Chain A
Amino acid sequence: MQTIHASQVKPPFYRDERILGIISQVLIVVIVLGLGLFFFSNMISGLREKHSVAISFTFLSQGAGFDIGESLIEYSRERTYFRAFVVGLLNTFQVAFLGIVIATALGIVIGVMRLSTNFLISRIAAVYIEIFRNIPLLVLLIFWAQAVFLKLPRVAEAFVLPGPIFLSNRGIAIPWGIPTESWGTFLIVLVAGILLGAVVVYLLREQGKRTGRMPLVTLWFIVTVAAVGFVGWIVLPQPLTLEQPKLEGFNTQGGKILSQQFMALLSGLVIYTAAFIAEVVRAGIQSVSKGQREASTALGLTAGQTLRLIIFPQALRVIIPPLTSQYLNLTKNSSLAIAIGYPDLFAVAGNTILNQTGREIEMFTMIMGTYLSLSLLTSLLMNMYNKRIRLVER
C-alpha cells in the first residue's frame, strides 16, 4: 500500500490554524496592553506635575483633620486618614448588614403575599413590586431624606411613639440597653450557650442519620441558646439597663439616636431591594413543580412536612444565588449614601479624603479594591455553595 504523509505537510504560517490562533491572541494582548500603557504613562506624567511622588500611600498616616457625623469606633479629627477610611468602611457594613436583614424579611413577606390565593393581598404585593422596581433608587433615597425625614417636626415638637421613640428631623431616638458590670460575664454565658447549642445540633444530626428522621435542628439550636441566655439573664445582676431617651431643651438625651441620614439610606435601600427579593422568592417557590407537592401528599406527608422536607429545600436552591446577588447589589448601592450625607466608605474616601489630599489613584484603588474583594469573596462562597448543591443532585 502506498504511504502518505499528509500530516507532515506544513501549511504556510498565514493559513495555519494554530499559528493564526496564537497570532490573533498576541495581537489583541499587544493592543490592550499598549492602550493600558499609553493611559498609564499619560497618567504618571500628569501626576508627576502635581505631586513630587507619583504614587504613594504614606499620606494615610497623616492627620485627617475633618469630622465624621457618625462612627462605630472612636474617631476624632486628630486621627489619621486611614482611621477615617475604616470608619467609612464600618458604616457601610452597618447599613448593609441591617439593610440585608430587614429587606430579606420584608421581601419574603411580599413575595409570599404575591402568591396568596387572596386576590387583594396578591394585588397589593404586585403593586408594591411594580412601583418600586421601576423607580430609580437614588430618587427614592433623596425622596426619603428630603421629602420624609427632613419634613419631620423639630425636636421640640417631635412625634412620640410608645417606647418612647422620638421622631424628629434630627433622626429617631429609641430606647437602648446600656451594659453594666455583669455584661461581660453575660456574653461569656451566651457564647457557652452557643457552644452547647452546637453540641445539641451535632447530637441531633447523628440521631437523625441513625433513624433517618431529621429533627428540627435549627429550632432546637435556637431553643438551647435562648434557654441558656434566659438563665444567665435571671442569675446575673442585670447585664443591661434600659435607657430611655428624654426630651431636654432642643435635643433628646440618652437612648440611641439613629441619624436622619442613616434612616433615609436604610429605608430607601430596604424598600427598593425588598421589591427585588420578593420577585426572587416568588420565582423560587413557583419553580417547585406542582407535581412535587402532589407526590409528597400522595406519600402521606402532612402539609407542614411537605413544606419543610420537599418544597423548601428545592425552592431554596433556586432562591439562594439570585438572593446573594441582591445582597451584593444592596451593599454596592449603599455607596449612594453620598447623595444624602451619610458617611459610608465611598462618601468618606471617594469624596472627603480625595478632595483633601488630591490622591485620586490611591483612593480609587483602595475603594475599588475594597468593593471588589467583597464581591469576589461573595462569589467564591457562592461557587462553593453551588458546587455542594450540585453534588447533592447527582
Chain B
Amino acid sequence: MTTAAGTPSDRSVLPITERYPLVGWLRRNLFSDVFNSLLTLAALAFIIVIARIFLRWVFFTAEWGVIPANFNLLMRGQYPAAEAWRLWLVIYLLGAVVGICWKLIVGQFSGAARVLIAIPFVLMLIPFFSMGSRLNLLITAVASGAGFFIAGYLPIQRRGRAAAYFLIAYLVVMLVLLRGLPGEEGPMPPVQPILWGGLLLSLLLAFFGITLSFPLGVLLALGRQSKLPAVRIMSVIYIEFIRGVPLISLLFMGQVMLQLFLPDGFPLVDRVLRALVAITLFSAAYTAENVRGGLQSIPRGQYEAAQAVGLSAYQSTIHIIMPQALRAVIPVLVGQFISLFKDTTLVALVGIFDLLGIARTIISNPDWLGTQQEVFIVVAVLFWIFSYTMSYASRRLERRLGVGER
C-alpha cells in the first residue's frame, strides 16, 4: 500500500448510489435507463389516475348508506336476530379451538399464527361493524389466545389425536348451536338451514365443503394409485367425469335430480344441503388429483422401507406415505380450498342466499335501487379478505415446513 495513488479518499469515495441506499434503490429499480424512466413515469401517471377515480368514488360519489342498513342481512341472512348470540358463541369457540389446536399441533407461536390472530383485528377495521360486533371480535381474539395458553398446560400425551377430538367436538357443538334444539319454546329454538345466509352461509359452505371433500378426495387419490385395477378404473372415471363438467351443472343437477335418486318417502333434502352435496362431490375430484401429485412425488424406497419394517399397507399409508404426500402439496391444496370458497358463490344461482345471493336481493330492493357498485364492491372485498388471508397463511406455513424438513 505504498503506491502513490493519491489520498485514499480520492478513489474510494463511494458512488452516490451506494452512499445513500434510497438513491441507489431508486436508480436500480426505477431509473436504470431512459426506457425504464419513461416506464416509471407512465406507471406513476396510471396509478395516480386510477387512485383519483377510485378515491373520488369512495369518498364523494358512493352512497354507503345501503351497507349499514343491510349489514346484518349481509352477515347472517335471515338468521333470526334474537338468536344471533349463538353465532357469536360459535365464533368465540372457533377462536378458542384454533388456539388450542395450534398449540397442540404446531407448538410455538410463529409465522402463520400471527396472521390468524390478526384476522379478528383486521375485521374490526371494517367500517360498517357496530361497536358490539367489534367487542365480540375482540372476545374471539382473546378466546384464541386463551385457548393457546391453556392448551400448553393440558396433560395430554397424544397431541395430534387430542387436537382431532377437539375439532370433532367443536363441529358437533357448532352444528347444535346453529341448528338449535327441538322445541320452539326452548332456549335454542331450531333455525332451518334455508334461513342461514350471507357471509355466515358462505363460510359454512366452504368449511363443510373442505372438511367433507378432503377425506373423500384422499380416498379417491389412493384409489387411483391402487394396484387393484377395478378400484383404479372407478376412481379415474369419477375424477375425470367431475373435472370435465362445470360446477354449475352439478349444482343444478343436485337441486333438480338429487331427490329423484332417493327412494319414495325419503324426507326432502334441504336446498342448502343439496348444494353442499354438489360442492363436496365436485371438490373431492380436484383434491384427489392434487393429493395424487403428492403421492407420485414419494420415492418407491419409502414404500419398501415401510414394508420391510413390517408395517401393514394401512399403517404405512397412515404413518409414512400420507404425511409426506400431503406436506408436499399443501400450497396446491390451499389454492384449491380458496377456489372452493370462491365457488360457493355459485349457490346464489340455485336460490340460496349466501353473501352474493343476499347482495342480489338487496340491489333488487326498490329502496336501494342503483346501489350495485357499493354492494358488489363490499361483497368482493369481503371475499378478497378471506381468500387472500388463506393464501398468505399458506405461503407462511409452506416456508415454515420447508425449514423443518432440512
Contacts and interface: CB of A to CB of B under 8 A. Distances in A.
A120 B44 contact: yes
Given A147-B372, A147-B376, A364-B257, A118 B264 contact: no
A45 to B, nearest CB: 7
B249 A371 contact: yes
B379 A139 contact: yes
Given A119-B29, A134-B338, A47 B363 contact: no
A150 B369 CA distance: 12
A151 B373 contact: yes
B262 interface: yes
A143 B264 CA distance: 42
A interface majority secondary structure: helix
A367 B249 contact: yes
A360 B256 contact: yes
Interface in A21-71: 21, 24-26, 28-29, 32, 38-39, 42-43, 45-47
Contacts of B32: 117
A335 interface: yes
A338 interface: yes
Contact of B356 (A43, A142, A376): A142
A142 B357 CA distance: 11
Nearest to A134: B387
Given A43-B260, A346-B246, A346-B249, A372 B388 contact: no
B134 interface: no
Given A118-B36, A118-B43, A134-B391, A140 B249 contact: no
A368 B243 CA distance: 11
Nearest to B228: A25
A45 B264 contact: yes
B interface majority secondary structure: helix
A46 B43 contact: no
Nearest to A336: B248
A335 B30 CA distance: 43
A349 to B, nearest CB: 10
Given A134-B387, A136-B342, A32 B234 contact: yes
A106 interface: no
A98 to B, nearest CB: 18
A247 interface: no
B383 A333 contact: no
Q: Give the one of B29, B234, B241 with max A CB within 10 A.
A: B29
Interface in B12-52: 29-30, 32, 36, 39-40, 43-44, 46-47
Contacts of B372: 143, 146-147, 150-151
Interface in A284-311: none
Nearest to A137: B342
Contact of B388 (A130, A335, A354): A130
Nearest to A367: B249
B346 A336 contact: yes
B268 interface: no
A364 B36 contact: no
Nearest to B344: A136
Q: Give the one of A139, A142, A333, A361 with max B CB within 10 A.
A: A139
Contact of B376 (A116, A124, A143): A143
Contact of A135 (B36, B244, B380): B380
A332 interface: yes
Interface string A145-161: 01100110000000000
B46 to A, nearest CB: 7
Contacts of B387: 133-135
A25 B360 CA distance: 49
A364 B40 CA distance: 53
Nearest to B41: A120
B40 A120 contact: yes
B243 A346 contact: no
A339 interface: yes
Contacts of B257: 43, 360-361, 364
B47 A136 contact: no
Given A39-B261, A118-B30, A118-B43, 16 more contacts: A21-B227, A24-B231, A117-B32, A119-B29, A120-B44, A121-B43, A134-B387, A136-B342, A136-B345, A136-B356, A138-B356, A147-B372, A151-B373, A335-B249, A368-B245, A372-B244
18 contacts: A28-B231, A42-B263, A117-B32, A120-B30, A134-B338, A134-B387, A135-B342, A138-B346, A139-B356, A139-B379, A143-B380, A350-B248, A360-B253, A360-B256, A371-B245, A374-B244, A375-B243, A376-B244
Interface of A: 21, 24-26, 28-29, 32, 38-39, 42-43, 45-47, 116-121, 124, 130-131, 133-140, 142-143, 146-147, 150-151, 332-333, 335-336, 338-339, 346, 350-351, 354, 360-361, 364, 367-368, 371-372, 374-376
Interface of B: 29-30, 32, 36, 39-40, 43-44, 46-47, 227-231, 234, 240-241, 243-249, 252-253, 256-257, 260-264, 338, 342-343, 345-346, 348-349, 356, 360, 363, 372-373, 376-377, 379-380, 383-384, 387-388, 391
